[in-house]
Every structure is written in structure tokens, then in C-alpha cells.
Structure 1
Amino acid sequence: MRAVADVVNQGSDAQPAARKRNGGRSARVREAVLRATWEALLELGVDGLNFSEIGRRAGVHGTSVQRRWGSKENVLFDALLSFGTEAIPVPDTGSLRGDLVAMSRTLSAYFASPIGGSILQMFVANADNDRAFADHRAEFMRIRFDAMRMMIRRAADRGELRAGIDEETALDLALGPLYVRALITRQPIDDAFIESFVDILLTGLLAKGAST
């Protein structure tokens, strides 16, 4: 499975398979629209997306797309949930340190890409008046947290973690430094930073004598 950055950089040739859906014409139209959105995103970037282009690629009227999703952000996040999330690997290096470093590198590359950077800015957009956008954003982030949660639980099963670790706090601490640099301080997320914050995090997570 390829990293998001690899998919983004490979342009329109990258077409992850959609999650299997059952249903009639409505389901087929929805999948066509979401695939068209994903392909247009890879080729044109976020700024190049519009309802007319999505509709043209999907073989439907752009106004129909607008009526169903309401905003460009909504159809974009729906497409990312259906296609983009499948391109993000959950590393399994055999150690929590290796997994955290690998996942952090993947997210760093994603944030640094034009598409990833634009999408990241949408995370901080005001969604108070758009419930659909807020729901899509929450689901997008839930999937990211679930991937990290899997890594934490595997580490627990291997006996790497000390007793009493709060899973949600560990997840916040693992992802927080990346989002702070990407959204607030704009400092680089390079290998030196990744390895430094991962090692600091592990001093609080690992059981005594656990190998990194």
C-alpha cells in the first residue's frame, strides 16, 4: 500500500479502489462523482476543483453535484474518505518507535504536498454553519486516529507499553507535534524533529526494559 504522498505525486495514474458499495443508480452516481473528484484533485489540485469539472468527469450535471453535496469542501472530503484514506499505510515495523517514525514521515510528506497543505487548511475552517462539512472532517480525522490507535494496541500486545497508559492521551501526544508545526508554527517536520519527539514520547509510554 502506498503512502499518500506517493499517490499525490503520481497524478491521475493513481486510482485507489473505492470501498465496495451496494445499491442502485444513486450509489453508482455517487461513486462516479467521488472518483471524478479524486481524479480531478490529483490532476488539478484543490483550487482547480469545481462542480462543473467534477460533473463533466462523472457524466452528470454539475448542478446535480452541487445540490447533493452543497459545497466543494463536502464533496472533497467525501472523496478523500472513499479513496484517499486507502492510500495511507499503517506501518508495522515490529516496534512502536519504528511505527511512530514511519507514520510521522508519511504525514509530514502529505502535509508538505500542495494537496495535503490545502486540505490541512480546511481543518481549521469555520464549520459551525455546515454540519455536513463538520461531519466529514470528523470522520476524516477519526480514520487517522484509528490508524494510530492500531499501532498503540499492537505495542501493548507486544508488551512494550507500561501499565496504565491512557490510549487517547497517547494518541494526542503522538499526533499533536505534527499538527502544531504544520498549522501553527510552520517549522519543518524533518527526520531530526520526528525522531526527537518520538523518543521523548516513548520515555513516558514504554515499559521498563522495553526495546525500541
Structure 2
Amino acid sequence: MSPTASPGRGPKVRTAVLAATIDELSERGYAAFTIDNAAQRAGVHKTTVYRRWPDRETLIAEALTDSLTTEIPIPDTGSVDEDLRALARSLVAWANSASGRAVLAVMVSTAAGLPAPPLSARHVFRDRIRKTLPVVTRAITRGEIPEGTDPAEMVKALVAPIYFRVLITGEPVGDSTADAAAAVALTAARARLFTTS
């Protein structure tokens, strides 16, 4: 390590740049987002950003992933009912936060006639669904929902009502929205609506 290098500098710079990216998306939107503005907001030179993220799409995708991972943890309470409710409540809290609104604005930019978000942004959401699947597979193992339940379909059923209200109808969402979404997904799973056999 060079005498001028700081052991904590790398992680601190990453955190600052990703936070600045979310703030820029929140304030300016996807179409107006630039690496220069994100770098300035983070207090670093743009070449520092380009060394780690070669283009804005890569930077945005990592910022989205970081936001989702940090603010929507994967619960493991030992009860599918509790897990689904906790997951839905985290999603609602995130959707109501500045970072959540920024991320969701990126995803609907095409609908507003703005440039389409990169495919990597959509992969972030697919990856998040994939990481949530153990909530369902653990519930199957515990016998709380039927064997053969498709975990991805159940998770999509959980999050769909929340995204519908946030993105389509513009209705406010809160804990009651989350609890209802969790109850509907669990009821549907127990009715074998997501079974593959």
C-alpha cells in the first residue's frame, strides 16, 4: 500500500458515490443523471468514479442494488407469516423513502417518454426476487405452505399490489397495505395457486 493510501478510503468512497447517485436520481431523474454531478455531490473527482464504474449504467445499477439490499433485508423469523409481513413492510418503507422513490422513478422513466433505463436496472429487481426465494423455500420445508409452491410466483404476488399502488395508481402505501399483501400471498399459496404440480 502506498504511503498516501488510506485503508478506509475505498469503502468510504464507494458508499459516498452510491449515496450521491441515489440522491441525484431522486432530485434530477434518470434522464438528467450524470457521473459528473454524482462525483461532485460525493466530493470526489469524476476520474475516481470512472475508475470503479466505467459508465453511468454500471454506476446506477450498483446504486440500485445497494439501496435494495440495505433497505429491504431478507427476514428469517421462523414463520412464513412473519417473514412475508416483514418483507412487505420493508418494501413499503423503502418505496416511501427518498432512495426508493428515486429507484422506482428510474424504472418507470420509459413510461414518461424518457430514455429507457438500462437492462441492468431490471436485472437488479430480478436478482432481488431471487435472493428473497429462501423465505418461501424455508416455509415449504417447515410445512407452512404446500410442496411444489413456486417461490418466484409467490414473491411476485406479494410485491405486485404494493408496486401497483406506488407506480400505477399513486395511492399511499403503509403497513396495512403491506400486511394485506402478505395475507393475500399466503392465502393464495395455501390454496395451491402457485404450485407447479
What's the TM-score, normalizing by structure 2? 0.70
2:106 to 108, 118, 122: 122
2:136 equivalent to 1:156 = no
Structure 2 distance, partners of 1:118, 1:192, is 23
The CA deviation string for residues 80-99 of structure 1, in whole angstroms up to 9 with x for no partner, is: 33575245311112211111
AA in 1 matched with 2:20 = A
* Secondary structure, aligned partner of 2:185: helix
- Structure 2: unaligned runs, 5 residues or longer: 1-8, 193-197
Contact 2:61 2:124 in 1 (8 A): yes
Decide whether aligned partners of structure 1 residues 121 and 94 sit closer, same or farther in structure 2, where only a CA change above 3 A counts.
same
* Rounded Cα–Cα distance in structure 1 between residues aligned with 2:97 and 2:80: 26
Q: Percent identity, aligned pairs only?
A: 26
Aligned twin of 2:6 = none
Where does the alignment leave 5 or more consecutive residues of structure 1 unmatched?
Answer: 1-28
Per-residue CA distance 1:5-49 (angstroms, 9 max, x = gap): xxxxxxxxxxxxxxxxxxxxxxxx997764332232476663267
Q: Is the 8 A contact 1:160 1:207 kept in 2?
A: no
User: TM-score scaled to structure 1, two decimals?
Assistant: 0.66
Give 2:27's match in structure 1, choosing from 21, 25, 47.
Answer: 47
**Aligned-residue offset at 1:139:** 2.9
Code of the residue aligned with 1:95 in structure 2: it is S
Matched, 1:65 2:50: yes
Matches within 5 A, 1:86-165: 86-126=70-110, 133-135=118-120, 137-165=121-149
Q: Specify the alignment match of 2:185 in structure 1.
A: 201
**Maintained 8 Å contact 2:158/2:185:** yes
**2:89 partner letter:** R
- Which region of structure 1 is more displaced relative to structure 2, 191-200 or 45-54? 45-54
User: Residue 36 of structure 1 corresponds to which residue in structure 2?
Assistant: 16
Residues matched between the structures, number: 178
Q: Measured at CA, do residues 81 and 51 of structure 1 come closer, stay the same or move farther in structure 2, by a change above 3 Å?
A: same
RMSD: 3.7
What residue number does 1:20 align with? none
Worse overlay, 158-167 or 54-63: 54-63
Per-residue CA deviation, residues 106-161 of structure 1 (Å, 9 max, x unaligned), is 11111111221121011122399778x212x1331123202321100110111111
